[in-house]
Structure 1
Amino acid sequence: MSQTIKVDEIINKTLTHALAEQVASAVEQLMSVDRAQHLGIHEARIALKRLRALLQLLRPINKRQYKRQNRVVRELAWELAPSRDVQAIAETLDKLCQDDPSLADNEGMIAAAELIERMLAELCSSPKLTDELPRICHHVARQLSNQEKALEIAMDEIQGPEQLLTGMRSTYKQCYKRFKRCSENGASDEMHSWRKHVKYHLYQLQMISGLIDCDITDRIQSLKELSIVLGDDHDCVVLTAWLRRHFEQRHLPTQLIVASAKRSRQLRQRARVLGLRLFSSRPKLFLEELPFSSG
């Protein structure tokens, strides 16, 4: 079965377009952030993750440049992370109430909701958000423009589809290995690492979907679902850690922690089902199962 993507010129053109799209998305979200909202920051972080996925796809072409550029993008995402965590906790509290409406009247839920509401209000009016965040956003936007120029040069070095296939195989291998580890011990840090690489794999397939003559819609949809499931599980872990950190032992909202753990177990069961469907093939066999066009 052929594994050859159409032609080098189309590869370069498509990836250049993907790069421009990711940079434009990140810059737009960063520069239009409403100080009373956190969705813009969240969307900007997603755009940065997509950019990292593209960098990993290009890694075999220039490893030294990959490491340098990947480090820059990773550090930019870190600068935007703190405000997102607070919003994720608030959203997870809402989801727990949707799972079990009786929690809405629980004393622990009321106390946690009031605390997170105060934290969100303080964050929105804090000097970091009102003064420092715009500076950070401008800095990130500037760095992204530099990234775009550097990566355009890297893509000019593409000599054939094999380099991209190597990048794809490497990302799949990370997903495969981490899924196996999660199946063995289910540690939260392993789940978080698996989630990260699942997203990279998803974003890479979305980028190259126009370069191959096969329908990968089902795989992309399953990866989207898995990404959401793993993200929700991660938010449960963040919520539990936050509850233990902000409440004294004698006032610990135990019922919330139990509900969060229950939701996490259900999410991980679903993640395992999806993982078996998506990552049962060994890395060496993965690309053979994708019918790439010979051009």
Structure 2
Amino acid sequence: MTSFRISAQQPASEEVRRVAQDRLERAIEAIGKGTPKGVHDARKRLKEVRALLRLVRKPLGKRAFAACNGRFRDTARELSTLRDATAIVECWEALAEREPARFASLPFKRIEGRLLARVEAEPAEPRDHQALIEGLRGAADAVGDWPLRSEGFSLFRAGLLRTYQDGRRAMKAAQQNPSDELLHDWRKRVKDHWYQTRLLREAWPRLFKARQKSLETLADCLGDDHDLAMLQLLMKEQAELFGAQVTFDELAAVVAQRRAELQSRAWREGHLLYAEKPDALVSLWGNYWRVARKER
């Protein structure tokens, strides 16, 4: 979606408001469809808005940031979703693509059937989200009142610095203690940096496009790992879904091996993406932004 970017040629504050209103309007439209896909799309649009908010956190002010971020976070939580059940089915399918012969066996096909039944057992009727829609319409109308007084790259400097620093800290914490929770926290910070890289890619499109791709790869590795962690948790809590002990043990070994592979790749990508010192990265991006403004 080309609208999710900030033009270097326009006043920065106006661009931030334009992008925020566009994302909120898309979220409202998606919710109004009343479908699981619509709900999923709306949640993605709200994540984009929250990443934009973090980019202008300091000029926006603590009170305004907390109010807006809280509203969009709570709205996303209230949206009904089959995410947990469907994520497990999706990661099962991904494992099956890697080892088709193993997953075509009768014991594994029976497990797949039980996992699919969990999804089908979820209520299919779309919920009435009219109150959420009205709340987002009010939020979109209020975007014009956001207190953004800085212009140019200075509007983004503090937010970019904090997001990048948070990502480095989260990576370090996850390396020291690779728990499911800390790995998931790191993924959220990676996604923030990915969204902000997309927003600022006009600084140097070719370079930023490559960084976007690497961040997306990293986020996908951590996301797939999180889905497998959910599968492991389900295996612990509802072992009866996974058949005889020998089948359970076989699956457990497959999942553990795949998680080790995903985490190994995540560390490689992460060390490259977060190699730059925070102040140096922000200064460099600021220089790119100023060149982009002059050249165009």
* TM-score normalised over the length of structure 2: 0.85
Q: Which runs of 5+ in 1 are unaligned?
A: none
Contact in 1 for aligned 2:194/2:212 (Cα 8 Å): yes
Q: Residue 43 of structure 1 aligns to a residue in which SS?
A: helix
Q: In the alignment, which of 39, 43, 54 is matched to residue 52 of structure 2? A: 54
Output one character per residue of 1:147-176: Cα deviation in whole Å (capped at 9) or x when no partner: 222333115444553231100111011111
Change (3 A) 1:80 1:260: farther
Cα RMSD between the aligned structures? Answer: 2.3
Change (3 A) 1:66 1:246: same
Q: Residue 156 of structure 2 aligns to a residue in which SS?
A: helix
Q: How does 1:55-74 map to 2 (within 5 A)?
A: 55-61=53-59, 62-74=61-73
Could you tell which deviates more after superposition, 101-110 or 113-122? Answer: 101-110
Corresponding position: 1:230 with 2:228: no
Contact in 2 for aligned 1:96/1:103 (Cα 8 Å): no
Change (3 A) 1:259 1:63: same
Contact in 1 for aligned 2:153/2:289 (Cα 8 Å): no
- One-letter amino acid matched to 1:174: D
Corresponding position: 1:12 with 2:13: yes
Output one character per residue of 1:179-225: Cα deviation in whole Å (capped at 9) or x when no partner: 11222222211110010011111111211223x25631111111111
Cα distance, 1:250 vs structure 2: 8.0
Q: Residue 146 of structure 2 aligns to a residue in which SS?
A: helix
- One-letter amino acid matched to 1:201: H
Equivalent pairs: percent with the same residue? 24
Cα distance, 1:107 vs structure 2: 5.1
Q: Which residue of 2 aligns with 1:134?
A: 127
Corresponding position: 1:289 with 2:281: no
Q: Which runs of 5+ in 2 are unaligned?
A: 1-6
Q: Which residue of 1 aligns with 2:145?
A: 153
Q: Which residue of 2 aligns with 1:187?
A: 179
1:149 and 1:222 map into 2 onto residues whose CA distance is 35
Q: In the alignment, which of 270, 278, 282 is matched to residue 273 of structure 2? A: 278
Q: Which residue of 2 aligns with 1:258?
A: 253
Change (3 A) 1:266 1:68: same
- One-letter amino acid matched to 2:208: I
- The number of equivalent residue pairs is 279
Q: Which residue of 1 aligns with 2:4?
A: none
Contact in 2 for aligned 1:176/1:282 (Cα 8 Å): no
Change (3 A) 1:60 1:117: same
Q: Residue 82 of structure 2 aligns to a residue in which SS?
A: helix
Corresponding position: 1:217 with 2:209: yes
Contact in 2 for aligned 1:173/1:283 (Cα 8 Å): yes
- One-letter amino acid matched to 1:84: R
Change (3 A) 1:260 1:79: farther
Change (3 A) 1:140 1:157: farther
- One-letter amino acid matched to 2:33: S
Which of 1 and 2 has higher RCO (CA within 8 Å, sep 6+)? 1
